[in-house]
Structure 1
Amino acid sequence: MGVCLAVKRITSPLMEPRSIEKIVEIDAHIGCAMSGLIADAKTLIDKARVETQNHWFTYNETMVESVTQAVSNLALQFGKEDADLGAMSPPFGVALLFGGVDEKGPQLFQMDPSWTFVQCNAQAIGSASEGAQSSLQEVYHKSMTL
């Protein structure tokens, strides 16, 4: 029982492949795949790591959905008119997939650049997501194992 995150890295021969990470560890039980502006993703990943630790220390449990909700809330604050100190000013140009295992079992959440998030059984993001999503719909079934 688990969650699998995978990426296809398309690089230029002029780029150092190790310098672009598209899958990161949030904590030992949660990972995140990203597509879009990686600099924007790094800001949100830092927030996710802090929220994961806060949730763990407060409730002694790992919760994939609460971390996703916290990142969504942070990203949504960019449009607020009041001058909250924690609010971000520019919109973020990145899509994220948060996946992990918590007390509810395997969890996967997709967050798009509008900062709405939905729980998924299987999901693809990025430039070739339409084809990948079609493949997932053809082959995925709930009884699959890793």
Structure 2
Amino acid sequence: MAAQIQKNSIQSIPIQMGTAQASVIQIQGTVRGIESIRFQESLKTLCARSDHSILLLDLEQVTAIDHRGLGVLVAGLRAARQSQKRLLLCALNDALRETFRETQLDQVFKIYPSRESALQDIALDEPKLKVRVAHWSAELAA
């Protein structure tokens, strides 16, 4: 059962901070079951087609994730690396943070406490940063 999603759209909002590029992908709802398959397709496409070298997945509005969803994130990390991109995570709620700790995926992914802290850290590495924000929800992908 998918979580209720308030926003059912994908949008990109460019934020100019120079010439380096990053995409913030805000994920909403659940990432499990059939939603995982849809999310995997979206993430794979994003990794392949994005001209941005940094992909930041904002998980603040993710209500649940299962082993398939975790597998999608690992596959996304692999796809990002193959495309010479960095895949970062931010804003995990307490339950997600515990899941990542228990599965030791917190040792695999760079995880930031918030979107703001991630962007600040990225900006230190990439002082001229351009950010695009996109929204993904399971209901949109259906």
Q: TM-score w.r.t. structure 1 length?
A: 0.29
- Of structures 1 and 2, the one with the larger relative CO (CA 8 A, separation 6+) is 2
Which protein is richer in strand relative to its size?
2
Which protein is richer in helix relative to its size?
2
Which of the two has higher C-alpha Rg?
Answer: 1
